[in-house]
Amino acid sequence: MIHVQDKKTMLNQGVLIFVYLGVLSLIEYFIAIAFDAVPLLVVVLLIKAVLVTYYYMHIYKLNLESHVEDEGSYEYKTGTNRLGLWLFLVSDSFVFAGLMVTRMNLLGLTRPPLNQVLGLLITMVLLVSSFFMNRGETLMNNGDRKGYLRNILITFILGVVFLLGVVTVEWPTAIREGLTPSSGPYGAVFFMMTGMHAFHVVTGLIFLMIVYRNARKGLYDQKNYPIEAAAVYWHFVDLVWIFYYPALYLIGALVLS
Amino acid sequence: MRNKHPVWSGFLLLIIGGVIGYVIGLGLEVLVTGTLNYSASVPSAFALLFAVSSFFFGLYGYRGITRGLVWQVIGTLIGGLFITGIRAAMGLKAFGDFFFTEPAWVVGELVGVIAFLFGVGVVSDWMKWARGIETPEHHEDVPTWEKYFGVSLDHKVIGIQYTATALILMGVGGTFAMIFRTELARSQLQFLTTTFHLFNQNGPQIYNTLLSLHGIIMIISILLGVAGIMNYVVPLLLGAQDMAFPRMNAFAFWVAVPAAMLLLMSLVLGGFDTGWTGYPPLSARAPVGVQMFFWGVFTAGWASILGSLNILSTVVRMRAKGMTAMRMPIFVWSSVATSIIALTATQLIGLSFQLVSFQRLFGMGFFDPAKGGNPVLFQHLFWFYSHPAVYVFVLPGLGVISELLPVFARKPLFGYRWVAMSSLGIALVGFLVWAHHMFASGMNEYLRVPFMYSTLLVAVPTGVKFFSWVATMWGGKIETPTPMLFVLGAIIVFLMGGLSGPPNATVSTDLHLTDTYFIVGHFHDTIFGGFVFPFFAAIYYWYPKATGRRMSELWGKVHFWMMTPSFLVLTFGMMRIGLLGMRRRIVDYDPALGFDTTQTVLTIAGFLIFISVVIFAINFFYSMKHGEKAEGNIWNSRSPEWQVPSPMPAHNYAIPFRVVGHPYDYGLPGSKYVEFISEPDYTHHEEVHPETKTH
């Protein structure tokens, strides 16, 4: 659709997508609370996933360099790198899919007793971090290094907030309410899914740190694929949460462990 | 450091290191437990680690693989001691039956693997990139044998490293098989008796461990062998300089080495009696060795995942000019099919083992019915990989068959498009058949029939391949040098495996055949026919390309004629006693069943196979220096890699080529496959066949 655009349009597009995603998240929450309609929920989260994959992760860019002839050029290698990263994400998504299968098999249409407010909050934090990541990447593509650095710093801080929110607030809260890893299938599934996701957040934060530091030294002014790679990976972590949040917090009947 | 007899000093240090390690371990054991137990685990573990590290030290000095192994040992100790310290501070039990406690071993082994990767130096370029330092595209090439023991980015070196590691592991797994095969030769327990003690295990426990390790080590060895052929051959067939991601390629190989060490460690750390499948109710209770097994497989899985990621990217991005999809060699097609499976499904075996490991460590009850878990779920996750995994093994093998047959039948490959698509067909159908391993597991009954039919459906694309092979040979001028012999053997053995498959796929018969030796016979037929025979064929075929010399034809033929009949006897015998009710994975059987004669014959056949592989190994290493020189196109192949002199130069093709025809048009006058973009001047290259004028 809209691939090559000027800076302002692209930034506006980022804001628009963010608003869409935020509204859809609220709709999702509302559906879960009011109707408990899983098929509807699945439709909404698939729309969110498509928006993230297309507008944030730029899956169409896989097709960009196919016209480049010189196999030694940076453009061609970037195309190869993109393909490699996407193949890795496909592979990685099988881990998350496997955990989702585990969740569905063990819990069915029930869900663990979790703090809804906390869940919604950390979800929003991750969503906002994705917005700033996208904004930073867009600015960098338009040559605004300062803006990029500012935005990626915000992304990084929000990522840390998310991580701390899960590990230091949400986990202890769950444990206080009796939901421990060894307490039963609910605890096991909850800690495994959030733990696996948190592990990916940690690796994502490491990549963000690297691209922040190197960009500040001016290394990515010409060859800026690493920024795109870190961004795509970060959005992938967000994408996973788009599926995991409903799976843990919204789907099914609440069970008291 | 140079020394004149590296191999001998390696073996000398192997013994010395083993003894020193054993003594240190014994000392530690006495220190911690206060008792002197000569067959305990810790001395053996230290002996193993020290012996392997000192062997490479003697061979190669303190660099490359030696550094990696030393760092792995140090990393394991640091990780283990760290957790032990924390446990001691928390007032928990600090030392267990196997020196460290289980959490300490798990953390230790993971730290050890990471330390290995840093020690061997395979991640150093990435570390530089992260700090913003650019590195050159290719490393300097070391011209001698030494490059095989350190990190190299050349896909040909990595391919050979993979292949050699695969052969070594195959030797280890084969030796294990010989040990328990000997025990099975007669009913009752002969030498693996209950009074026999080794590594904290008694005879039958050792039997269980060896049998489980035979399974998993052979599987890892096959995965490495697959990666070996693909790595060496695919870029050459595509006309690429290297793989798409050379560093990741090296990483994928080197991560498999510590994984192999972990698997060997599991033998000495109490072993595991679960079979290679590691089903949870048992694997959740097995000794700590099972953790080594879990994380060893997990680590080796990354080799498979990253290797296949690389193959896919290379095939998509780095083909020669003019090589459209329908002009790709069949081996490339089968590599793509294999890589699609390995890239995606491998994650699930890693995940399933990880979940069991966490169940043991943290009491997360995924597969524990007492905690609301579901053991059958493990089998679903596990077989979702482990069934497609057999296609990971056989698809490249079948690709080798299709690749080599036209060369030696001097005829075009029959039905190229169908063969190419059948690989993808097998790969895709392969994703939908996993539950046929679970007909007797107690899963929902309505799942049985769909999985039965999807399994039987696999026979269709496989049948396409068989028809193609037969039609390719039909009326051809068949030559039978050693590679072709192995191709023919592969077709026959794989046919036996294929024919014994449908009885297992059909629910009514499978309920009787589950867990009998019939399954064992069927499985060995498919894997030998689908992978091991083609693997040998590929080695005999591409060996001259890699070394510039060929392996001895005579000993190659001895290898073939010794292995094939014994192998057929072995598997038919297994199927026979399986049908009569012999259970798999048991150390003893009732003499009244009357299996003694058959079992003895099977053991003899097994030893003949072992000897034939030893002959192969000697031939393999001897021919590197003393084989007959073979620098030209000795097989009259049309494939691009044979149009340049052997051994292959460092960056493959000095002059790029263009694909102008179909790869398998043998014997068609005037047909051309590749055309070098400017005329290469290889003076000693002979025009060997009037029909294959490529110059």
Measured between alpha carbons, how far is B347 from B382 in angstroms, rounded to an integer? 10
Q: Which of B291-295, B663-667, B686-690 has the highest mean pLDDT?
A: B291-295
Q: Show the CA angle centred on residue B278, arms to residues B277 and B284, nearest 5°.
A: 165
Which residues of chain A lie closer than 8 angstroms to B372, CB-CB? 106, 184-186
3-state secondary structure of B198: strand
> Once rounded to an integer, what is the mean pLDDT over residues B386-393?
92
Interface test with A, best of B351, B356, B447 (most A CBs within 10 A): B351
**Sign (positive/negative) of CA torsion A160, A163, A167, A168?**
positive
Question: Which residues on B lie below 8 Å from A192 (Cβ)?
Answer: 355, 358, 364, 366
Asked if B402 and B395 touch (Cβ cutoff 8 Å), the reply is no
Q: Do A80 and B371 touch (CB under 8 A)?
A: no
- Residue-wise pLDDT tens digits, B269-298: 888 888 899 898 888 888 888 999 999 999
Position A10 scores a pLDDT of 84
What are the φ and ψ backbone dihedral angles of B191, each rounded to 5 degrees?
Answer: -115, -25
Contact yes or no for B372 and A79 at CB 8 A: no
Over its C-alpha atoms, chain B yields an Rg (Å, rounded) of 25
Nearest to B358 among A79, A185, A192 (CB): A192
Cβ-defined contact of A80 to B372 (cutoff 8 Å)? no
Q: What pLDDT was estimated at residue B152?
A: 87
- Is residue B657 helix, strand or coil? strand
Is residue B48's pLDDT more than 50?
Answer: yes
Chain A residues inside the 8 Å CB shell of B362: 181-182, 191
State how far residue A195 is from chain B, nearest Cα, in angstroms: 12
Interface residues on A facing B, Cβ-Cβ cutoff 8 A = 71, 76, 79-80, 83-84, 87-88, 90-92, 94-95, 98-99, 101-102, 105-106, 181-182, 184-189, 191-192, 210, 213-214, 217, 219
| Cα of B453 vs its chain's centroid, Å | 29
Determine what percent of chain B is predicted with pLDDT higher than 90.
50
Candidate from A94, A101, A184 with C-beta closest to B372: A184
Question: What whole-number distance in Å separates Cα of residue B225 and Cα of residue B235?
Answer: 16
- Sort out which chain B residues have CB atoms less than 8 A from A98's CB and list them: 347-348, 351-352, 381, 384
Minimum CA–CA partner of A92 in chain B = B347
Which residue ranges make up each domain of chain B?
6-130, 643-695
Q: Where are the beta strands (DSSP E) in B313-373?
A: none
Residue B407: pLDDT band with limits 50, 70, 90? very high
Q: How confident is the model at residue A1 (pLDDT cuts 50, 70, 90)?
A: very low
Confirm whether A2 is domain-assigned.
Answer: no
Please answer yes or no on whether A84 and B350 come within 8 Å at the CB atom: no
Q: Above 70 in pLDDT, residue B690?
A: no
| HEC sequence for chain A | CCCCCCHHHHHHHHHHHHHHHHHHHHHHHHHHHHCCCHHHHHHHHHHHHHHHHHHHCCHHHHHHHHHCCCCCCHHHHHHHHHHHHHHHHHHHHHHHHHHHHHHHHHHCCEECCCCHHHHHHHHHHHHHHHHHHHHHHHHHHCCCHHHHHHHHHHHHHHHHHHHHHHHHHHHHHHHHCCCCCCCCHHHHHHHHHHHHHHHHHHHHHHHHHHHHHHHHCCCCCCCCHHHHHHHHHHHHHHHHHHHHHHHHHHCCEECCC
B contact test, residue of A74, A77, A87, A212 with most B CBs within 10 A: A87
Show the tokens assigned to B395: 């698809």
- Secondary structure class of B411 (helix, strand, coil): coil
Least confident window among A217-226, B323-332, B352-361, B572-581: A217-226
Alpha carbon distance B682, B340 (integer Å): 38
Q: Which of residues 293-322 of B touch A (CB under 8 A)?
A: 305, 309-310, 312-313, 316-318
Q: How far is B130 from chain A (nearest CA, A)?
A: 6
- The pLDDT of residue B32 is 76
Q: Do A106 and B317 touch (CB under 8 A)?
A: no
Question: Cα B382–A113–A186 angle (5° rounding)?
Answer: 20
Residues making up chain A, counted from first to last: 257
Q: Distance between CA B164 and CA B257 in Å, rounded?
A: 12
Residue contact B244–A80, C-beta within 8 A: yes
Nearest CA among B514, B521, B526 for reference residue B583: B514
Across the interface, whether the CB atoms of A91 and B318 are under 8 A apart is answered no
Distance CA B100, CA B486 (A): 47
Res. B692 pLDDT band, cuts 50 70 90: very low
End-to-end CA distance of chain B: 45
Q: Is B428 on the interface with A (CB under 8 A)?
A: no
Candidates B134, B243, B309, B431: best to mutate against A (most CBs of A within 10 A) is B309
Res. A19: pLDDT tops 80 = yes
- CATH number of the domain within which A169 lies: 1.20.120.80
Three-class secondary structure assignment of B32-100: HHCCCCCCCHHHHHHHHHHHHHHHHHHHHCCCHHHHHHHHHHHHHHHHHHHHHHHHHHHCCCCEECEEE
Q: How far apart are CA B217 and CA B437, in angstroms?
A: 21
> What is the distance between the alpha carbons of residues A105 and B308, in angstroms, rounded to a whole number?
30
Higher local confidence (pLDDT), A1 or A95 = A95
State whether residue B516 is helix, strand or coil. Answer: strand
Would the pLDDT of B687 be above 50? no
Q: What does the pLDDT look like over B69-81, one tens digit per residue?
A: 999 989 999 999 9
Kindly state whether residue A1 falls inside one of the protein's structural domains: no
* Per-residue pLDDT tens over the stretch B233-261: 999 999 888 899 999 999 999 999 999 99
B window 382-401, beta carbon within 8 A of A: 384
Mean pLDDT of chain B: 88
Q: pLDDT band at residue B17, thresholds of 50, 70 and 90?
A: confident
Interface contacts (A, B; CB < 8 Å): 103
Residue among B313, B312, B310, B292 nearest B302 (CA): B310
pLDDT tens column, B151-168: 888 899 999 999 999 999
Rounded to an integer, the average pLDDT of A173-178 is 90
Top residue of B347, B357, B379 to mutate, by most chain A CBs within 10 Å, is: B347
Tens of pLDDT, residues B414-437: 999 999 999 999 999 999 999 899
Q: Do B347 and A91 touch (CB under 8 A)?
A: yes
> In this complex, do B365 and A185 lie within 8 Å of one another by their Cβ atoms?
yes
SS3 call for B550 = strand
Q: Is B130 on the interface with A (CB under 8 A)?
A: yes
Among all residues of chain A, which has the CA nearest to that of B318?
A71
Chain A residues with CB inside 8 Å of B359's CB?
A: 188
* Span B606-623, pLDDT tens digits: 999 999 999 999 999 899
Q: What is the pLDDT of residues A70-115, one digit of tens each?
A: 777 888 888 899 999 999 999 999 999 999 999 999 998 888 888 8
Contact B345 A94 (CB under 8 A): yes
Both tokens assigned to B397? 């093998």
Asked, for residue A147, whether it belongs to a domain, the answer is yes
pLDDT at residue A162 in the model = 95
Domains: count for chain A: 1
Per-residue confidence band for A2, with pLDDT thresholds at 50, 70 and 90 = very low
Kindly list the residues from chain B whose CB atom is less than 8 angstroms away from the CB atom of residue A95.
Answer: 347-348, 350-351
- Kindly state whether residue A216 falls inside one of the protein's structural domains: yes
List of long-range contacts for A13-20, beta carbons under 8 Å, 24+ apart: A13/A55, A14/A55, A14/A131, A14/A134, A14/A135, A14/A138, A15/A131, A17/A51, A17/A55, A17/A56, A17/A134, A18/A127, A18/A128, A18/A130, A18/A131, A18/A134, A20/A51
A140-154, B21-35, B79-93, B304-318 — which is least confidently predicted?
Answer: B21-35
From chain B, the residues in CB contact with A185 under 8 A are 365-366, 371-373
Count CB atoms within 10 A of the CB of residue B231.
Answer: 30
Q: Cα B658–B663–B669 angle (5° rounding)?
A: 95
Chain position carrying tokens 């001897």:
B622
A174 neighbors A114 (Cβ within 8 angstroms): yes
- pLDDT at B93 (0 to 100): 83
Contact A84 B309 (CB under 8 A): yes
The CA distance from B359 to the nearest CA of chain A, in Å, is 8
B192-236 pLDDT, tens digit each: 888 888 888 888 889 999 999 999 999 999 999 999 999 999 999
From the CA of B279, how many Å to the nearest CA of chain A?
16
Contact A102 B381 (CB under 8 A): yes
How far is CA B213 from each of CA B218, B221, B266, B685, rounded to the nearest angstrom?
A: 8, 11, 9, 47
Residues of A in contact with B318 (CB under 8 A): 71, 80
Which range of residues forms the domain containing residue A203?
Answer: 7-254
Residue of A84, A106, A219 lying closest to B372 (CB–CB): A106
Q: Using a CB-CB distance cutoff of 8 angstroms, which residues of chain B are in contact with residue A182? A: 362-365, 371
Q: What is the pLDDT of residues B553-584, one digit of tens each?
A: 999 999 999 999 999 999 999 999 999 989 98
- pLDDT score recorded for residue B287: 86
ipTM: 0.92
CA atoms within 13 A on the CB side of B275: 11
